[in-house]
Structure 1
């Protein structure tokens, strides 16, 4: 499959869980109108009143000890429903992903920057799947993740859009599926059985270093990872948090593609808004890598030093009248010594 097809298949196959669960609710006697009403309330961001049949089902499952599983499935269904409203996919460039992976844990961040997400409720598709082997020996993979918001309704956390004015923090939803089964889905075979892990991306204070944010998130994520080893959870968090922070920087490198918007896709209900994340920066990094193997630079002292890549970092600062606005810049990795293309700037159009 092409990278576009893989991204679309990964997102829409995960959304298949939502349709399956909705069918199960309807089969259990929940009217379609109640489900539609609940989703309208979530979409509108209004105060949420649980429809009567869904409320009765929740009470009954609570008596049977199954309320937690039902609540988690309902939250997952509502979160995937938010993505279906806009169908935004960010396709992360592989070389930018590698660059982001080297950002220092000591970079200081401010929680306000997470309100700069360019588009509502996107799905970020990772360039390479994150593969896990649990203690049971079963290999699973994460191809990407969905982002939505969480707000408080009568002191209870409620799923909402990332762009809801009362959104408090972000919720990340990771679909996990058996390793190497996504291609079977694209070929029209049976949809693989998904498991979902949800975390809340919540700053421990007004500011935190990247390392503190990952560590704090990992502590709260511990109860939602099944048998995933601790080091695998850390890998998952670093691979997901850094791209989110990058999209929230000033003028991120994002370009909408024409893929996925054909008349055939719209007719089939498969049209998506696909954005390449880091296609200019990624190209610049690849150009430097192509020259690195054959170029050797000599320092002024006469010693020989191979060209290298200076690590990137996230820089947060205050701006505006009275320095009341918090913004974040991404200072990308810089080629040092011997890169003949170093004087060719990477031009990223300013986002209006």
Structure 2
């Protein structure tokens, strides 16, 4: 029999369709026997095929070896009972930093005071002298560098907080206040200044304090770049106080001066009580060739705590009497101050303080 379609091959004869001899009818028993025989032969062929596949698989495994990739679509073999298979090594993240994550700065010592319904005041070159209410709390913002003669003055306010900012003195002046960076006067609570950069080619005074109302002053992460000699009869200081405060707290300050560093006379003017104490820590003051005393205080009995305070004369010397006023040796008023530079560099390096400053946080509870 041939297919009616020329492209098809002739149908293959199967045991069920094998043609019988013409004219030779088959009995029912013979038909059943033939069918049984055919089923037996089919089963035998199938068994032979399965055995052949198994042998082929065994030969392939022997040729490729036990560690060969079974290839796609092949089920993985089960692990032998009790055999431990190590986990694959974790892959390195694509954005991993070879040097590790950057280490944040150590927290500062004193948190800002707690503020009650504070008002926010923005300092600009046109609004740089602030007169605040003595019983009102304030947040002072300095989103852009302030470049103006006389710097920034903050007079009054109860609890006052300034975090981040830059004050630049670029024009020479006729008087000391014309070339000053920051003046804090007559706060009645706690004034907290942090992350401030004071700089400029005409800078001749860093921070002045007149605190006759008993305020606490906190200065942290402050960088005062070189204060020059300034106008005639002016003596340049990184920090000078002539009245108060009740407490002065400084943590992390770096300053350079052509004249003096800290000039601390809290009882020079006013009738306020003597300070409860000054706490100075993590400070480095560097003098240029023309610089004199880098730490100066009166001879009164108000207490002062010193921790990691460094003063560096320009000549690299170690003569304490040349840079510390009223010092009579290691057991004197400035006992514990180190002459030289911190071994790990300035406490407030370039780029830490200024516009866009981010605080590293604090180790103490919030001041109230």
TM-score class normalised by the smaller sequence: under 0.3
Q: TM-score, with normalisation over the residues of structure 1? A: 0.24
Relative contact order, CA 8 A, sep 6+: which one is greater? 1
Q: Which has the larger radius of gyration?
A: 2
